[in-house]
Amino acid sequence: MSFDTESSLSNIALIDWVAAYLESWGVPFVRVPNAAGDKEAIFATIGPMRDGGVVLSGHTDCVSVEGQAWTSDPFRLRVADGKAHARGAVDMKGFDAIALAAVPDFLAADLARPIHVMLSYDEETTCLGVVDTIARFGRDLPRPGVVIVGEPTDLAVVEAHKSVATFVTQVHGFAAHSAKPSLGANAVMAAGELVVELNRLADEMERRGDPSGRFDPPHTTVHVGRIRGGTARNILPELCTINWEFRGVPGLDPDEIPARLAQRADAVVRERLNRYGAFGRIETTREVLVPGLVPEPGSEAERLVLAVTGRNATETVAYGTEAGRFQAAGIPTVVCGPGTIDRAHQPDEFITLAEIAAGEAFMRRLAAQCG
C-alpha cells in the first residue's frame, strides 16, 4: 500500500489502513478527527489501559515533492542498495512503520506499563495535529508518563530544540505614478526598511548567542523567506508581503522579536508610508508558533530513553517538532528516532535498512523496559 499524505491532502486513507491493522491484532484505539473532518490522528494502546504509559509519537504528513527531480515514484516505496526510498521514508513514516510493526512484539511482552502508538497530522505545517489528542489525556484517554517523538536523530536522545514562529507582514501603500511619488505610498520601499530591521535583529540575536552553548547554530535565527510586491516599474506598489520567521533558543520570549518589529513598523508608517498623507498601514500576523523543547535534565523520559539506547548523554537539534506540545502539557518528552534529518525533504529521500533494523531493536528494548 502507498499513501500520498502531503500536508495539503487528507491522511484518512492511511489512518483507515492503520485502524484495520490494529483491529487485526485486537489493539484498542481512538481516532481523533480535525474540525474539518478531512484529517485524523490515531491513539492506540498496547498493554494495560492505565495512566503512566509510553507514547511513541509520529506524524503521517510529509512535505511536497513539487519541483524535485525524483528517480522513481516518490509515493511508492523503492528498496535498492540497502536503502528504502520514498517521500517521508525518514521523516518520518519509517518510524511510524517500525512502531506499528512492533505491535506483535509489544503484545507478546505482556507489558506491565502500556505503550501507546500515536500518529498525527499537520506536523510539517503547524504541529497542531497532536493538540486535540493531548487535550483528552487524563479525561477519556490514559495520561502518559513519557513521550518519545520519533523524528530522525540517528537514535540520539534529544532533550531540547528551538521554537519556531512564522509570520506574514503586509505593507499597505497607495498606488500612484512613479513620476509623482507624493501622490501615493510605496509599499515595497517601506517593506525594505522592515527587512533591514529584521536583519538588524538577526545580528543582535547572533551576538546574544545561546546561554547553553548546545545549539547549532548557537543562537536564535531570524529569516526572511519571501517578498512579494509591485506590479510595474513605474507604479508605486500598493501592497508588499513579507514571509518571515524566527527559530528561538529556549528562554527566548516569543513576543520579543515581533514586538520590536512592530515598533519599527510604527515609525515606517509615520515616516514613509504617510509622509504625504494618510495612505498606508502595516499589519503582521503570526501564522504558527511551535513551542521549543526545553531541557529537563534527569526527566523520566530522558532516563528511560537513555537506558533503551544505551547512550550516556543527550543532544539538541535545530529543527522543530511536536515535542514541545507534549511538554507544555506537563509530560516528560524527548525526541529519538532512526535515520538522519539531513535526508528529509530531499529528492530520493531514504532511510537505510540498517537504520530500520536499529529502530526495530530499539522497540524490542523498550518492550523489555516496559515488561
pLDDT at 175: 98
| % of residues, the chain, pLDDT over 70 | 100
Spatial CA neighbour of 122 closest among 66, 45, 56, 38: 38
CA distance 136 to 113: 19
Confidence check: pLDDT of 18 > 90? yes
Mean of the pLDDT values across residues 158-172? 97
Contact 288, 274 (CB under 8 A): no
Mean of the pLDDT values across residues 127-153? 98
pLDDT at 213: 87
pLDDT at 125: 94
CA 9 to chain centre: 17
pLDDT at 210: 92
Mean of the pLDDT values across residues 252-259? 97
CA 244 to chain centre: 16
Confidence check: pLDDT of 182 > 90? yes
| % of residues, the chain, pLDDT over 90 | 97
Domains, the chain: 12-160+292-370 (3.40.630.10), 163-290 (3.30.70.360)
CA distance 123 to 7: 8
Give the phi and the psi of residue 65 in degrees, each rounded to 5. Answer: -105, 5
From edge to edge, which strands make up the β-sheet containing 40-46?
A: 29-33, 40-46, 115-120, 54-59, 146-149, 333-335, 158-161, 315-317
Confidence check: pLDDT of 1 > 90? no
Distance (Å) of CA 76 to CA 73, 178, 332: 6, 53, 35
pTM for this prediction: 0.92
Contact 39, 12 (CB under 8 A): yes
pLDDT digits (tens, 9 = 90+) for 26-50: 999 999 999 999 999 999 999 999 9
pLDDT digits (tens, 9 = 90+) for 278-305: 999 999 999 999 999 999 999 999 999 9
Please tell me which residue in 6, 40, 61, 302 is annotated as part of the active site: 61
pLDDT at 58: 98
Mean of the pLDDT values across residues 140-161? 98
pLDDT at 165: 97
pLDDT at 45: 98
- Strands 83-85 and 78-80, by their bridges, are antiparallel
pLDDT at 318: 85
Confidence check: pLDDT of 363 > 90? yes
The residue type of 353 is: L
Confidence check: pLDDT of 211 > 90? no
Mean of the pLDDT values across residues 89-115? 98
Contact 171, 195 (CB under 8 A): no
Mean of the pLDDT values across residues 329-356? 97
81 is an active site residue: no
pLDDT at 364: 98
159 is an active site residue: no
The residue type of 193 is: E
pLDDT at 212: 85
Please tell me which residue in 40, 91, 96, 123 is annotated as part of the active site: 123
Mean pLDDT of all residues belonging to the chain: 97
Copy the grid coordinates of residue 68.
Answer: 524535485
Confidence of residue 347 (pLDDT cuts 50, 70, 90): very high
